[in-house]
Amino acid sequence: MNTTNKPLTVSAINGMKPGDDLKDSGENTGLRVNSDQSGVKKFYYRYNSPIIKGNKKRVAIGVFVKAVIDENLEPFLGEKLLGLAAARQILAGLKAERKSGICPATRLEKEKAERLSLEASTRLSVHLMVEAYLSQYIEDHKSFDGKLIAGARKVKGQKETRRTLEAVTGKDKPTEFGRRLASDITHVDIKNLITSILANGTPVQAGRVLGELNLAFNYVIGRPEPIKGIPHHQWQEYLPESHVNPCLQAKQYFQNKKIKFSPKKGDRYLSDKEIVKLLEWLPGSKFSPIVRHTLMIVLLTGVRSGEAIAARKDGFDLDKGSWLHDTKMGFKQNTQLSIQAIEYIRPILNNPNNITEYLLPSSRSGLPLWQKQLSEQAWQLKSKGLMPDIEHWTAHDLRRTCRTGLSKLGCPGEIAEAVLGHTKGGIEGVYNLYEYEAECKIWLQNWADHIDVLMGKVTNVVSIKRA
């Protein structure tokens, strides 16, 4: 440290050794130069705070350069490349600021925090990454010239993908995970997110989230962000091409742990006592009418809940007691209807207020509900303690209940499988093309009669015909 009152000189600064610290004098008192261990010399301003008496403050001004050809004044204070004259000029401004009662260090800290916050808000968050993936790739969208571009998924798939991702990144307001910068997300973050979804007992949902996040990262890595009014060659990449997709290592982790994202094989069906409890509770339950009707149709016919929800009115022939509909497997099935099923469906079918083509349309859209809404309504009722006092069940468990009930009544296996619309396997599927419609009608009637007996509507039922 120089102890003289002589002003700083360029030659004195050039002669500094690592660890030296020099100070200026006179009107430039407060300006100091420090040489770090690597020999880099930096200017800083040391002063007494005008706000807190006796509090010493220090502000970095810039880096000293020996030969100043064009002093770089563009970077922020502390990063500027300066000669001695320029450092003294900046010092004068800082001193004037301090004299007016403003603490330069406090002001600069606040400005830096605001700058970093602004930079973070304009950088790609996970929420913005997902939105770019959805709106620019998955969903139908328009180019800058107004040309409509078809999305990568069909409308139903577009909605399902958005719902899946918004569940973890947020919809109108980003979640904590959604606010994170995409560039900061590591495979550990992805692993923890998917593990938390698995802990809820929803492996299929966990797999979908992992898969869609993987595709979202792939979409933005190395891809230029389209900015209106800016030429294409000036667009900046969302994430640099060198960025590693964190989902890849997370996927490898779950593979190594042999964790599968497929649904567990179902083994739940309702006993006779549980059927009674359910049917006594269902008419007055808080389920929507559409869900109540869907559950009853599934129980009486054994069809899939998605097929019941999407039922079209023109598929029903109540005079013949049949219902022709599309199945999940892509072929048409002619489901036979018992007398009880016909009596249940007839008033729904003849509802004068339903002017749509569907049996169970939404009152808002006039279209069928999503199958997912059945489980969502059930979850809401369960969380509020409004479900019946029986072990957890799903709509698909009612289909399994119908199939199990048919076997308990003595229905042959090939007929019970035909009721459910299962295709025949092996050589039998090649040569036996009989669809067992007459036999299905008999056994579905036996099943409906059995339910009536359970509910006390009749004391005994004897079928006239046997398969």
In this predicted model, what pLDDT tens digit does every residue of 39-86 receive, in sequence order?
Answer: 899 999 999 999 888 899 999 998 998 765 445 555 567 678 888 998
Q: What is the pLDDT of residue 426?
A: 75
Residue among 156, 138, 152, 9 nearest 83 (CA): 9
pLDDT band at 341 (very low <50, low <70, confident <90, very high): very high
Q: What is the CA radius of gyration of the chain?
A: 36
The SS3 assignment for 224 reads strand
Looking at residue 72, its pLDDT comes to 53
- What sign for the dihedral angle of Cα 103, 104, 105, 106? positive
Which residue ranges make up each domain of the chain?
A: 10-119, 123-256, 272-454
> What is 10-119's CATH number, 3.40.50.1370, 3.40.50.11540, 1.10.10.10, 3.30.160.390?
3.30.160.390
CB 328 within 8 A of CB 297: no
User: Would you say 461 and 452 are in contact if contact means Cβ atoms under 8 Å apart?
Assistant: yes
Element containing residue 464 per DSSP (H, E): none
Which of 91-95, 226-230, 428-432 tops mean pLDDT?
A: 91-95
pLDDT tens column, 357-404: 999 999 888 999 888 888 889 888 988 999 999 998 999 999 999 999
CA dist., res. 408 & res. 411, Å (int):
7
73, 234, 448 from 119: Cα distances, Å: 21, 19, 66
366: left (phi over 0), alpha (psi -120 to 50) or beta: left
pLDDT confidence band for 462 (50 / 70 / 90): low
Q: Would you state the pLDDT for residue 193? A: 96
**Cα–Cα nearest to 409, from 443, 379, 435:** 443
Query: Comparing 146 with 77, which gets the higher pLDDT?
Result: 146
C-alpha 449/C-alpha 344 separation (Å) is 14
* Mean pLDDT score across all residues of the chain: 88
% of the chain exceeding 90 in pLDDT:
67
Q: What are phi and psi of 74, to 5 degrees?
A: -75, -45
Best-predicted range by mean pLDDT (49-58, 137-146, 158-167) = 158-167
What is the tens place of the pLDDT at every residue in 84-127? 998 999 999 999 999 999 999 988 888 877 765 555 445 789 99
- pLDDT recorded at residue 235: 81
* 8 A C-beta contact, residue 352 and residue 313: no
Q: Give the Cα-Cα-Cα angle 336, 340, 344 (nearest 5 degrees).
A: 100
Q: 443: which 2 tokens?
A: 């056994």
- What is the C-alpha to C-alpha distance for residues 173 and 178, in angstroms, rounded to an integer? 9
454 pLDDT above the threshold of 60? yes
- For the ranges 5-14, 107-116, 159-168, the lowest mean pLDDT is seen at 107-116
pLDDT at 370: 82
Q: Check: CATH 1.20.120 for 123-256?
A: no
Give the CATH superfamily of 272-454.
Intergrase catalytic core (1.10.443.10)
Q: Which secondary-structure segment (H or E) carries 323?
A: strand 322-326
